[in-house]
Amino acid sequence: MKYAYYPGCSMECNAAAYELSTQAVAKSLDFELVELEDWNCCGATEYFSQDELTASAVVARNLALVAPEMDQLVAPCAACYCNLAKVDKMMGEDAEMNGKINTALKAGGLAYEAGRVKIRYLLDVIYRDFGEEGVKAKMQQSLEGLRIAPYYGCQAVRPIKREDDTEYPMQMDELFSWLGAEVVDFPVKAHCCGGHMTQISEPQAFEMIRRILQSAVDYKADMILCMCPMCQLNLDGYQSRVSSYADKEFNMPIIYFTQMLGLAFGLNPKDLGFGKELVPALPTIEAKLK
């Protein structure tokens, strides 16, 4: 299996653990992620607050870069996925915007026909294209003994309704149940991590992060699995600051779902980027895994 791959800016540095584990898991499952040549930033939320058409054209350049023989584009980051999928959908529905975006693309010698590429997020690819059978066939190590909180965040499951529920998605829940983990019924699984609010208003951002961490504590989860670099950064990178803010010592490991998947596939933690998280995950995993 081959998919065009849009890593997104975070994967280069902040989310290197997601990139490493994504590639390792792809190898185990025997699929290939062909990186778009010379891709550019998806614009996050900020570019869309400045100029809608330009932001959309910036996003569309990536869609235009998908090689003609490829028809599926995979994005691991929820924000990138959201922007790519939204712009593709908007181009299909709004002829005027479509025309303008293509005029802009043409200035760079490019073109994109709306709907040509199916944009997908990584979890959905693993869940649907490989399924229970495909995933279990690669399992070397059961995850029995671990209680995990599956955290989807917002922009992969919303606003575009695809294969999972927009408020109570289940793909990650099921994936890790197949592998023997105990998956908690996490009520805040599709709540927002706050995105870039940490840069605008810390009290607001820290409160959003606190609610998610506290819920994982309340549900006695050993750790939170996430699927977006922004979520991981907020929940892990800011955790010590949120502890001070909330006057409560949180010690909740936050790792990417692909890292846990890699462990179940018997891969070496080093090759999965373990150790890059600020709240160490391996001690908990070693203590709990049967």
Partner 1 sequence: MSVQHVAEGISPFLKELIEDTPKGERIMHCLQCGSCGGSCPNSADMDHTPRKLFAMIMANQRNEVLAANTQWCCVSCYLCTTRCPQEIPITDLMYALKRMAIAEGKSGGTNAPALAKTFTDLVDRYGRSYELGIAGLYHLLNRPVAMAKMGPMGLSMFAKGRMAILPTKIDKIDQLQAIINKARELSK
Report 199-218 residues binding partner 1 (CB under 8 A): 199-202, 204, 208, 211
Q: Is 50 in the site for partner 1 (CB under 8 A)?
A: yes
Cis peptide before 159 (omega within 30 of 0): yes
Q: Is 13 in the site for partner 1 (CB under 8 A)?
A: yes
Cβ(255)–Cβ(277) below 8 Å: yes
The per-residue DSSP string of 116-174 comes to: SSEEEEHHHIIIIIIHHHHHHTT--S--TT-EEEE---STTTSSS--SS-SSS--HHHH
Cβ(8)–Cβ(36) below 8 Å: no
Q: Is 262 in the site for partner 1 (CB under 8 A)?
A: no
Which of 76, 150, 169, 195 is close enough to bind partner 1 by CB under 8 A?
Answer: 195
Looking only at residues 230 through 249 of this chain, which bind partner 1 when binding is defined by CB under 8 A?
Answer: 230, 233-234, 237-238, 240-241
Which of 28, 54, 177, 284 is close enough to bind partner 1 by CB under 8 A?
Answer: 54
Local structure of residue 222 (DSSP, 8 states) = S
Q: Is 251 in the site for partner 1 (CB under 8 A)?
A: no
Contacts for 168-177: CB closer than 8 Å, 24+ residues apart: 171/123, 171/124, 171/127, 171/128, 172/123, 172/127, 172/225, 172/227, 172/257, 174/127, 174/132, 175/123, 175/126, 175/127, 175/135, 175/257, 175/261, 176/143, 176/148, 176/150, 176/225, 176/257, 176/260
CA distance 114 to 50: 23
Q: Which span (12-20, 23-31, 178-186, 250-258) binds partner 1, by CB under 8 A?
A: 12-20
CB of 138 to partner 1, least distance (A): 28
Q: Is 2 in the site for partner 1 (CB under 8 A)?
A: no
Q: Which span (22-30, 101-109, 143-151, 179-187) binds partner 1, by CB under 8 A?
A: 101-109
The count of residues interacting with partner 1 (CB under 8 A) is 73
CA distance 85 to 41: 14
CA distance 67 to 248: 50
CB of 28 to partner 1, least distance (A): 24
Q: Which span (69-77, 102-110, 136-144, 171-179) binds partner 1, by CB under 8 A?
A: 102-110
* CB nearer to partner 1: pick between 164 and 265: 164
Q: Is 111 in the site for partner 1 (CB under 8 A)?
A: no
Q: Is 113 in the site for partner 1 (CB under 8 A)?
A: no
* CB nearer to partner 1: pick between 40 and 140: 40
Which of 94, 129, 174, 182 is close enough to bind partner 1 by CB under 8 A?
Answer: 94
Q: Is 134 in the site for partner 1 (CB under 8 A)?
A: no
